[in-house]
Structure formats: C-alpha cells, structure tokens
Structure 1
Amino acid sequence: MRTVVVAGGGPSGSIAAKNLAPSNINVYLVEKDVKRIKPCGGGIPSRAFEEFNLPVSATYREVKTISVISPKGLRVDMPLEGGPLLMVEREIFDRNLRDIAEKAGARLIEAEITSVEKRGRSLDITIIEDGKEKNLKADFLIAADGVNSRVVSALSLAHLPCLYTMME
C-alpha cells in the first residue's frame, strides 16, 4: 500500500487527503496547529462548494457585489459574475474539512514537519508531535502548508526555475 503525507490541514490539504484516502492509500494529514485561527477574508466562490462538495455549515454570509471606494470617496460597485462568494469562518470550515478527511480514512496528526529527506524512491519525514520527534515514511508528499511552505524549504525546492502553486 502506498503512503502519502499531506503537509497542511487547511482546505487544500484536507480535500487532497479526503480524495486520496478511499483509494487504498495510507494517508497522513499533518497539521501543525489544529486550533489556529487563520487571518483570512474567508470568501469562497459558491461554485467551489458544489464542485468540491464542501460543507456549507461554516458559511455565514453571501456576497453578491463588491464595492471599491477610493480615498476621495468615489465608489464602484461590481456585481460578482458566476455566483456569489460565500463567507466562511475559517476555524470552523477548516475543522469540518479535516473531519471529513478523517471520516474518509485519512489519519490526522497534529505535528510540525521539521525535515524531509529523500531515500531512493521514498521520503523520510521527521515530525515533532507532542514534543517528541517521530518519523514517517512516505512514497509521496503533498505540500499544502501555505505560501511559506516548510516542505518546500526542507526539500530545497525554492531554487527550481518553475514551481506550481495554488491559492486557496
């Protein structure tokens, strides 16, 4: 059985873990702080909820128009095409997505990834969980740990001429 470690328990990481877990893949979802409240506007296009089957329980407002007001008080209202933005409380939304990933079979680990080493065709991933150093072995590693990715730093991938990223 293949093993995948997903670094980061936000929306991208949780959805990746949820989608992989039912496929006879051993999935570890590693999030350094499950109680963290991310400073985020929390606007997600409504069509993403349908496309990714996201839980709407954390939504609290629907935005259909965005207003831009200049320093001189000039205002421009822009209706959102393609459907409204649904505003979510990230703390609840992220927790719900991690719960869904766990129900699909992923194992949630609250830990920090401190190093990643290639060993032939596999990876040795060192984590700190409950103050203790532990090791995970994986065939694949998904870096969904944000713009300041520890995984990218640990693998020295920052020097690559092309690195694909996705925003939440």
Structure 2
Amino acid sequence: MTEDVFETVVIGGGPAGATAASDLARAGRAVLLLDRGGRIKPCGGAIPPRLIRDFDIPDRLLVAKARSARIVAPSGRTVDMAIERGEVGMVDRESFDEFLRERAAADGAERRTGTFKRHERDARGRLRIVWTDPDGREASALAHQVIGADGANSQIARQMLPAQARPPLVFAYHEIVATDGILPADYDRTRCDILYGDSVSPDFYAWVFPHGATASIGTGSAQKGFPLRETIARLRCRIGLDQARLIRHEGAPLPLKPLKCWDNGRDVVVAGDAAGVVAPASGEGIYYAMATGRLAAEAVDAALARNDPRRLAEARRGFMRQHGKVFLILRIMQHFWYGSDKRRERFVSICRDPDVQRLTWSSYLEKELVRQEFGTHLRIMMKDFAHLFGMITPWGTRP
C-alpha cells in the first residue's frame, strides 16, 4: 500500500497547531493537521487587539468585548482598571479553535482526527507518525518535518526532544455557565474580574470572564490536591452565579516557562503549550500559542527550503527575542507577589496607581514592553520596593 507523504505533519489542532498548518499551507507546503478532537482547553478566552490584527480574527468570533478589569484583593477590596483606548476581545474556545482548524483546511491543509501514539522511521529516515482514529484503528503518514502542538503533556516532545526538565505547571479548571437569567447587580458583561486570595487559589488567581450569554468562571493552582471544583462551587456562590446553568467544564495543566529546547535538530519542533509558552502570573496563552505556531511554521518552511534542519532552532530564538523579557518579568512578579495573601493584598493596592494601569494595558494590548519615560519606571520601582519592605502598608497608609 502507498503511504501518504507530507512535507509537514502538525500534531495538535489548538491555536498553535492550526496557525502553523494555515501558514505552511498558504506557503504551498503539503500539510497534515492531526487533531484528536473533542478537547476544549479551560481558558478565560481573552484575546488582545494585536492578536486580532496579526491573525485576522473576524469580529463575529468575539462573544464579548471587555473594556475594563476588576482586581479583587484577598480582603475583598477592589481596584477597577478601565481600558482608556481599545478593548479586549473575548472568545469561546470551542468555536474559536474550530474556526482556526477550518481555516487551516480552507488554506489547503489536510485535516484528520486521531490521537498520536508513536513515531517510527522508514528506510529513508523519514518520520512515520502513527495515530489511532476515533474507531481505535491505527493509521500513519510519513513526514519530512513535524510540528508538535499537542499540549503541556506533549507526547511528541517526550519522545523526540532531548531530555530536559519540564516547566512548572498550574492546573486550571473552569466552568462555562449561562448568564441569560437574573444576574447579580454588580455583574458587568464588559468587565473581566480577577480574584486573589487563598480562598480561591493559594498561588495563582481565579477569574470571572464575560462571554456574552455565558461566563467563564475558573481558577488554577500548582499545588497538587488543591480542590479546584469545590473552589469554583464556592466562588459561584460568592459572586451570585451558583444557580446559573452549567453548560460545560474543562480542566488542563498550564506550563509557565518556555522549554530550553524546542527542536531535535533534525525534523521536529514544538509550539504552544508543548513549548511551555503560557505567560507566568497572567496565565495568558492564546496569543503566545499562535505566535509560536507562526514561528514554528516559518522555521520549518526555511528548513525545508534550504534542506537545513538547523533552521528549526529559529522558532525558539525568535520567540525569546520578542517575548523573553516579558516572561522573565512576569515570572519574577508571580514569585514576589503571589506567595501569600499579605503580598497579594499589597499587589492589588499597587494596581490603583495610574502609571501601573497605563503600562499594564499598553503592554498587554500590544504584547510588548512599552518604553515610557524613565521617571515612570522609577516611580513604579520605588513603590514596589516600599511595599516589599513594608515601608508602606496596603492601600497607601504608612505603618
């Protein structure tokens, strides 16, 4: 029997894999997009304007548009952060991810549904990707290059990349509930709520994000055994959505540090969660997943065009050059501010600062560090140190 041969097999049809498949197909490459189907990642669904522009996301996919965020301290005190210019799009991952897969197919990628099992090599050294289809039957295809976008527990990364430490994981869980009934008085369909405190997460945060006729209510923690579902049940009571109809629920690990190596130096490169590119502190992953999918596609296209597998390493180099500093800053911020309720209280109080709000929104909306005047950065740094060393108490009073 003749076995199908593709220039690239993309394993995983989330935002990273679907983006890579689209880009390669548009570049004229023969691409297979393999997705196991039926999997929806727990996600607040926020996408910034830069993502909408860079990846041509139609407005019809936005189920809501957020124009502010409310940060809730462990004490219950709140800080509202309005977006002065622009808005944040909100998507439902069930329809958003399927749109990206359909677009990849329309661009020329071949879609198949199956779960990756193992790899082999044929007599010419090409990778044979073996999967099981929805009926449990094995199928396979040959590939000159493979992009692994199969999530935080990527099997292709485990099997094909050099041994390396796995990134720290936050285990996330959320529930999608209907908001077409009677809503709490302070529920705002244009506001994202972020809650801190041991009662909702010992080391991360909880969220309530509007999705139009529904809402995503979730939390996460790196502590194994933390009762995620019970916490969400209590949170729904706390915010007055305990009687809202449950539509679905999902859970998954989120990797919060990029892997040190993304490729095997020959014919495999990873992207998205498989590469560990969920942002620390914020847990944001959609934009970074799609960015790595595009970078992986560019690296694979260059490797194929020049018959030079060394080009695969350009995916990680490009990502770290563009976003490495942001990830470092967010990791430091999470380490210092998320460790206890005392520090979280101080962190939320800092968010009242107009300079902090302006820099936060500017950096988030455009996905890059904004270069403001030196004095602004100096003022923020001095306030941070004052809080860290107890020179002032939360909410601006002196000890």
TM range (shorter): 0.7 to 0.9
Structure ranking higher on relative contact order (CA contacts 8 Å, 6+ apart)? 1
Counterpart of 1:138 in structure 2 is: 143
| Separation of aligned partners in 2, 1:144 and 1:82 | 34
Say yes or no: does 1:97 pair with 2:100: yes
Cα distance 1:95–1:79, how it changes in 2: closer, same or farther (>3 A)?
same
Counterpart of 1:7 in structure 2 is: 11
In 1, are the aligned partners of 2:161 and 2:261 still within 8 Å (CA)?
A: no
Unaligned runs of 5+ in 1: none
Say yes or no: does 1:39 pair with 2:42: yes
Between Structure 1 and Structure 2, the one with more helix by share is 2
| Separation of aligned partners in 1, 2:85 and 2:10 | 31
Counterpart of 2:132 in structure 1 is: 128
In 1, are the aligned partners of 2:6 and 2:141 still within 8 Å (CA)?
A: no
Cα distance 1:77–1:117, how it changes in 2: closer, same or farther (>3 A)?
farther
Question: What is the TM-score with the length of structure 2 in the denominator?
Answer: 0.39
Counterpart of 1:162 in structure 2 is: 260
Say yes or no: does 1:26 pair with 2:26: no
Question: What is the TM-score with the length of structure 1 in the denominator?
Answer: 0.87
Quote how far apart the aligned CAs of 1:13 are.
Answer: 0.9
| Separation of aligned partners in 1, 2:151 and 2:83 | 26
Counterpart of 2:73 in structure 1 is: 70
| Separation of aligned partners in 2, 1:158 and 1:54 | 37
Name the stretch that deviates more: 56-65 or 100-109: 56-65
Quote how far apart the aligned CAs of 1:154 are.
Answer: 2.3
- The amino acid of 1:75's aligned partner reads T
Percent identity, aligned pairs only, is 34
The structure having more radius of gyration, on CA atoms, is 2
In 1, are the aligned partners of 2:114 and 2:132 still within 8 Å (CA)?
A: yes
Aligned residues: 167
SS in 2 for 1:125: strand
Between Structure 1 and Structure 2, the one with more strand by share is 1
1:61 to 38, 61, 64: 64
Counterpart of 2:52 in structure 1 is: 49
Q: Which runs of 4+ in 1 moved over 6 A?
A: none
Equivalent positions of 1:77-92 (< 5 A) are 77-80=80-83, 83-92=86-95
- The amino acid of 1:85's aligned partner reads V
SS in 2 for 1:116: strand
Quote how far apart the aligned CAs of 1:77 are.
Answer: 2.1
SS in 2 for 1:57: helix
| Separation of aligned partners in 1, 2:85 and 2:101 | 27
SS in 2 for 1:139: strand
